[in-house]
Structure 1
Amino acid sequence: MVTSTDRAFLAQNEMGMGYEPTFSGATSLFRRQYSRNLEGVDMVAWGVPYDLSVTNRPGCRFGPRAIRAVSTNLAWDGGPWPWGLDPFEILNMVDFGDCDIDPGFPEQIAQQIQDQAREILKSGAFLLTMGGDHSVTYPILKAQAERHGPISLIQIDAHSDTWEEHPKRIDHGSMFYHATVEGIISAETSVQVGMRTLNEKTHGFTVLDANWVHENGVDATVARIKEVVGDQPAYLTFDIDALDPAFAPGTGTPVCGGLSTYQGQSLVRKLGGINLIGADLVEVSPPYDHAEITALAGASLLLDMVCLIAKARK
């Protein structure tokens, strides 16, 4: 029997976008098949439902679920505007489900994330992650660095997440400081975009704060990113609070004066030519969202990331 519902479970080796009613069915990311068989897979969608390190409003543990649900609005035949391609005719992408973590042992969670990311990366597939709070990027970067060495970080965010602390804590505002000190990140070839909180120490990062982006524009921002990163292995991390709260109210630490959804999407769409080895989108907090505005922005940005990789491989 042919069915147009629950393709996340029932589709068999299906490439390309297809039709399924947006209001029903299993809600995998972009209706991709749920699978943990990574043979022949080009891209893996993965959720990390963790928010124990937030410093303000919790709730982004529900981010992956909300992003998957709203992504049904984006899984249309023919591919997303304005890319002019169907990324899933180019990339065999599966939804791997969520990271298996136990909040009863919080001190073990970072290692659990790193171990599971490492297993996925062994397949050679591109890992696209949904957070969760921003601390989840740190163990993923550690797993990536095991394969690539020091990584260039492209961080689109309202906060630097490089505040110094001693001793080391599990926190979503300090993990990139530790990653830099530990040699996981190459700060001199890394860029932070959209910052609008004060941190007097850059730790070697190139910082293009929100005012710089607003005053110089997206094209100049992208040109500067490419100049700094060069051809180094780069990881793209997009904290949804990079967007102004008018465009992303559902996040734990909102800061006014941020990017519009259009600016955020334009930044991602124009990153072609960079050697991206992985990407994530974090800090979508559904309890503070309204009308799925933030989740939809997150899902749309993730789809742009997918299309960016697909276009590079076309």
Structure 2
Amino acid sequence: MADFDQYSNGDLAFTRRGPYGTQVEPMYSGATSFLRRNYSKNLEGVDVAVVGIPYDLATSNRPGARLGPRSVRAASTNLAWASPWPWTFDPFKRLHVIDYGDCVFDPGYPDKVPDEIEACFDRICDAGVTPLSIGGDHFVTYPVIKALTKKHGPLSLIHFDAHSDTWTDEDGRIDHGTMFYHAAKKGYVDPERSVQLGMRTVNKDTHGYLVLDADWLNSRGIEAAIEQVRSRVGDNPCYITFDVDFLDPSCAPGTGTPVCGGFNTYQAIQLIKGLAGLNIVGCDVVEVAPPFDHAEMTALAGATIATNMLCLLAHDKPEKA
């Protein structure tokens, strides 16, 4: 019962005795690593590294997503005391998960930042560790994908968003609305095996991606969307990226480019849960912008989505503890 005595454990981000299982400490205090996992730069024996990317220089509207990793970590303390719903297992009995901290870079040299993010994830990929990153604006997905393709080849992208982020652009530009155009053009992503879900802005050029926009999702439903994703992706290595503006602003007001007519958190959880068993090599949650949040609604939504992603990664794994 000691593991469930929250008043005898503190600062588990530093004091946790072992990597497996769920221990409890007060939600309102202590070091706020993601879900109270150990802060560590040691990748030996690690299955998943949670990495913050505090970057928002590519945003085209309201800034503030550089503060997203800190706010999502803080909100995750609300979720760290029990096994995640609606899953039926504790992912931390199956996976050794650490909080790797944040990517570090000098924003005074903005042209160098993408390469520095890529180098950070090179180290994680070289160690055979699966990254779960927390942004940051959505551009941060681009250097992460670049790092992953060196090991896995062209990826299938499963992209939750209100925007396609595939607007045609010049090579070399850093923008959070064009990086998946570049990713397809450069061969980092295979658009013919990729799906975009929830779009509520108009872009007539799909560049080969299968686009299941908000009208499609609302008329066909969650199960049909899951079927489309699983059929399209197959067994190809895939990357899941979740922009919180996939959610309606009533559920996630704290984001840079909110769009009305979106989805609720229950729908998002059900969609993610339906992806269990795919060959997932990395995932992220991006565009949480705390200056525009209210009562930590968006941060909690981001932490919840990221927790469900961990459950996806744990789904087919045996217990280790």
Shorter-normalised TM range: over 0.9
Aligned to 1:111: 115
Shift in alpha-carbon separation, 1:87–1:167, aligned structure 2, 3 A: closer
Q: How does 1:126-141 map to 2 (within 5 A)?
A: 126-141=130-145
Look up the SS of the partner of 1:112 in the other structure.
helix
* 2:125 aligned partner, one-letter code: L
Q: Structure 1 residue 241: deviation in Å?
A: 0.4
**Which of 159, 166, 178 is 1:155 aligned to?**
159
**Which of 53, 56, 65 is 2:70 aligned to?**
65
Aligned to 2:36: 31
Aligned to 1:74: 79
Q: Structure 1 residue 48: deviation in Å?
A: 0.2
Root-mean-square deviation over aligned CA pairs: 1.0
Cα displacement string for residues 13-55 of structure 1 (whole angstroms, at most 9, x for unaligned residues)? 2311111000000000000000011111111000000000100
C-alpha contact (below 8 Å) 2:19/2:97 kept by paired residues: no
Q: What CA distance in whole angstroms lies between the structure 1 residues aligned with 2:195 and 2:315?
A: 23
Q: Structure 1 residue 165: deviation in Å?
A: 1.4
Q: What CA distance in whole angstroms lies between the structure 2 residues aligned with 1:35 and 1:146?
A: 24
C-alpha contact (below 8 Å) 2:277/2:312 kept by paired residues: no
Q: Structure 1 residue 126: deviation in Å?
A: 1.1
Q: Structure 1 residue 101: deviation in Å?
A: 1.1
Aligned to 1:10: 15
* 2:79 aligned partner, one-letter code: L
Report percent identity of matched pairs.
53
**Which of 271, 277, 284 is 2:281 aligned to?**
277
Aligned to 2:25: 20
Q: What CA distance in whole angstroms lies between the structure 2 residues aligned with 1:41 and 1:108?
A: 28
Q: How does 1:219-298 map to 2 (within 5 A)?
A: 219-298=223-302
Look up the SS of the partner of 2:315 in the other structure.
helix
Q: Structure 1 residue 3: deviation in Å?
A: 4.7
Structure 2: runs of 5+ lacking an equivalent: 1-6
* 2:22 aligned partner, one-letter code: M
C-alpha contact (below 8 Å) 2:288/2:299 kept by paired residues: yes
TM-score (norm 2): 0.96
Aligned to 1:179: 183
